[in-house]
Amino acid sequence: MDDLQQLVQKLQNTRHLEKEEWAALIRGRTDILAEYVFSLTRKERHQYYGHDVYIRGLIEFTNYCKNDCYYCGIRKSNAGVMRYRLDEEQILSCCSAGYALGFRTFVLQGGEDGWFTDERMVRIVGAIKSRFPDCAVTLSIGERSKESYQALFQAGADRYLLRHETFSAAHYSLLHPSSLTAASRQKCLWTLKDIGYQVGAGFMVGAPGQTPEYLAEDLLFLEKLKPHMVGIGPFIPHHATPFAGEPAGTLEETLFLLGLIRLLLPKVLLPATTALGTIAPNGRELGILSGANVIMPNLSPANVRENYTLY
Ligand code: 5AD
């Protein structure tokens, strides 16, 4: 057994690694090491979850966004996007379609769209919860005030997804304009947790400027935050963003990180994301085999999907 395999065992036994150890594992990834990790994660996942895969219905209800993240296709400077918003009835009809298919969690995801004030969001969440009382509502609508998060929680929202994107302030500022900061992002996550939401954090794999050390910091942050869900997927360059010419994250590194996260947080909900399915035709299946246990099929109306292109 080599040093890196021993580190993997240490991770499984103690659910902790030092920053340098994380970076060494990530730097030293080989197919053999990855297979070793996956042989452990499949057992871990099975121990807590059997063969269950959890299904969450994704409803992309607005692609308006006030932010200008350098990686994202729906950034406000991208004038080539046809902007749309779904109204309450359209959102409810996505939920109905999902409900009939057996979905019991709806994830409302959108850009940071000022049209969806607290009042409007509270109405929508309330309407979903009263029409589908046995369903969970997850929100993924970016950074808002504590009062706003509180109001949405009171309206019935159960969970909130907000990727931290990257823990490092220096790396964060390479991916975002200066109006957005790592500190404010992380503060939102702690606030959401405080309020009582089940929270999801996460990051892109292979984002421009990412290093094994930055990823190590992301994993240390996850250890501290202990989120219920961790969403990770490969960075995919979008043609109409400043990162158009950057290379994409790889399937192999994403799968390896899914495996490491399963070992760090054995009970975490770990989606095999759409981005993973985009870089490889069997990406999501491989994600499940690497340790993921959630799939988030798209419930958005077919005619708006082409406009919700993050990558
Ligand atoms: N490639 C991959 N993932 C992306 N996201 C945004 N843009 C891209 C891209 N070009 C991810 C971000 C965001 C989530 C909703 O989608 O991590 O949090």
How confident is the model over 222-271, as pLDDT tens digits?
Answer: 999 999 999 999 999 999 999 999 999 999 999 999 999 999 999 999 99
Radius of gyration of the chain (CA): 19
Share of the chain above pLDDT 90, in %: 100
Answer whether 22 contacts ligand 1 (Cβ < 6 A).
Answer: no
Whether the Cβ atoms of residue 199 and residue 189 lie closer than 8 Å to each other: yes
Q: Which two tokens stand for residue 43?
A: 């057992």
pLDDT of 223 reads: 98
Which atom belonging to ligand 1 lies closest to the Cα atom of 236?
1
| Cα of 311 from ligand 1 centre, angstroms | 7
Long-range contacts of 4-13 (CB under 8 A, 24+ apart): 4/28, 4/33, 5/33, 5/36, 8/33, 8/36, 8/37, 8/40, 8/263, 11/260, 11/263, 11/264, 12/40, 12/44, 12/263
The pLDDT confidence band at residue 154, using thresholds 50, 70 and 90, is: very high
Confidence of residue 1 (pLDDT cuts 50, 70, 90): confident
Structure tokens at 21: 């150890």
Residue 179 reports pLDDT greater than 90: yes
What is the C-alpha end-to-end distance of the chain, expressed in Å?
A: 40
Q: How confident is the model at residue 105 (pLDDT cuts 50, 70, 90)?
A: very high
- Give the predicted TM-score (pTM) of the model: 0.97
Q: Across the chain, what does the average pLDDT equal?
A: 97
Task: Judge whether residue 311 has pLDDT over 80.
Answer: yes
182-225 pLDDT, tens digit per residue, is 999 999 999 999 999 999 999 999 999 999 999 999 999 999 99
The answer, yes or no, to whether any atom of ligand 1 lies below 6 A from the CB of 129, is no
pLDDT band of 103, cuts 50, 70, 90? very high
Q: Please name the residue whose Cα sits nearest to atom 14 of ligand 1.
A: 163
Average pLDDT over residues 20-29: 98
| pLDDT (0 to 100) of residue 54 | 97
| Longest CA pairwise span in the chain (Å) | 58
Using alpha carbons, select from 297, 243, 259 the residue that is nearest to residue 98.
297
110 lines ligand 1 (CB under 6 A): no
**Closest C-alpha among 194, 254, 196 to residue 230:** 254
Three-class SS string for 150-173?
HHHHHCCCCEEECCCECCCHHHHH
Contact present, 292 and 54 (Cβ < 8 Å): no
Atom of ligand 1 nearest to the CA of 162: 18
Are the beta carbons of 108 and 124 closer than 8 angstroms? yes
